Structure formats: C-alpha cells, structure tokens
Amino acid sequence: MTVTPIELSASGIHLSPGGRIHAGARPADAGRDGWHLKAFHARTGSDVHADHWHVNTEADEIVSCVIGKIRLYLRPERPGRQGEVEEEIRLTAGTAAIVPRGRWHRIQLDIPSTIMTITASCGGRSESRADPL
C-alpha cells in the first residue's frame, strides 16, 4: 500500500470503527459510524457559518484553532431564561475546546484562521441565528 500526503483543507478524514481511516470529500465506504476530522482555513464568517448555530446530538465535538484567533460561542442551555447569555470561549493558535453533546454552538473569526474539528459522523444539525451578526 502506498502512503501519500493528504491535503487536510481539501479532504475530510473518517475514523471508522475497527481502526480504518478514510480520506476524501465523502468516502463512499465510510458509513455513518465512527468519527470525522475536518481541517480548513476560514477567511470570513461565511466560511464558518457564523450566522448559524450547530449541535451534535450523538457525541461531543472538539473545536481547535490551529492558526489564528477565533471565538467559540455556546448558546445558553435554557434559552430565554432571564440572565442567561451566550458563553464565549476565546481560542488562539494551538488551543481547543470540547463542546458537550447536545450543546448548540457557533464560531466567529477574530482574524483569518485555520480550524480543526473532530466529532461523530452523524447526529448534527444547524439552525439560523435569530439575531443578526
């Protein structure tokens, strides 16, 4: 088997049960089980869908700032409850945060940044933010 470099910004990495690893946009044999690693360079808020909340219902997620500066926002666990506000976590190069399963979150850039995420391959959904950026 030939080992070749993988361009992380152009490929997803799927970590399958049983230890198999697949690289590509969406490997056909990757299935819905296992974990997905994605690394990408973001120049603008649209690159990170800053106008949307995202939640992973099946697993925690690691969000890492590889290069740059980003802000990770966690929506209040009980939206609408008096006094509860978004939690802001500032991530700089080389830092990461674990977003708990079931917690709505979003990313906002401070500067163009390279970001890496790792989460389960299934169970995610997004919704538009109610308030404008």
| Other beta carbons within 10 Å of 7 | 8
Domains of the chain: 12-128 (2.60.120.10)
Q: For position 130, what pLDDT does the model report?
A: 74
- Which pLDDT does position 101 carry in this prediction? 95
Q: Which residue's structure tokens are 């909340």? A: 53
Tens-binned pLDDT, residue by residue, of the chain (133 aa): 788 898 888 888 988 888 888 888 654 544 568 899 999 999 999 999 999 999 999 899 999 999 999 999 999 877 666 667 899 999 999 999 999 999 999 999 999 999 999 998 877 888 898 764 4
The whole-number pLDDT of residue 24 equals: 80
pLDDT at 90: 98
**pTM summary value:** 0.85
> Closest Cα to residue 104, out of 64, 65, 76?
76
Output the CA–CA distances (angstroms, integers) from residue 96 to 17, 92, 111, 132, in the order listed. Answer: 24, 8, 16, 26
- Spatial separation of the C-alpha atoms in residues 38 and 12, rounded to whole Å: 5
